[in-house]
Amino acid sequence: MRMYLISDNIDTWTGMRLAGVEGAVVHTREELKGELDKVLADKEVGIILLTEKFGREFPEIIDNVKLERKLPLIVEIPDRHGTGRKPDFITSYVNEAIGLKL
């Protein structure tokens, strides 16, 4: 099983290539959709890495894939500009998921 990166910037793509992860750089909604379709058709890919920008700008595309498919696993990663998440995002995510305040 392989990992594949879909990034919005060349710096993240270059860093992941140095680590041996194949990928592509896309900027528009259509490019993202096309690249996702290509990667989803490849049964060798087990994990798709996406820069967080896509999760913020095109959540309906990402969420649709996450809900309809078990594999590949989609993981949103911060890019060179850091994460856009608030410091307590894990706690709030758990609170939301289980309905209990921690």
* Residue 82, domain extent: 2-98
The total number of structural domains that make up the chain? 1
> Rounded to an integer, what distance in angstroms lies between the CA atom of residue 28 and that of residue 31?
5
What is the domain-level CATH number for residue 92? 3.40.50.10580
Q: What order of strands is seen across the sheet that includes strand 45-51? A: 22-25, 2-7, 45-51, 73-77
Q: What is the pLDDT of residues 80-89, one digit of tens each?
A: 665 666 666 5
Residue 95: its H or E element: helix 89-98
At residue 65, the pLDDT reads 87
Residue 6: CB atoms within 10 A of its CB come to 22
Rounded to two decimals, the pTM is 0.76
> In sequence order, which ranges of 19-58 are alpha helices (DSSP H)?
29-41, 52-57
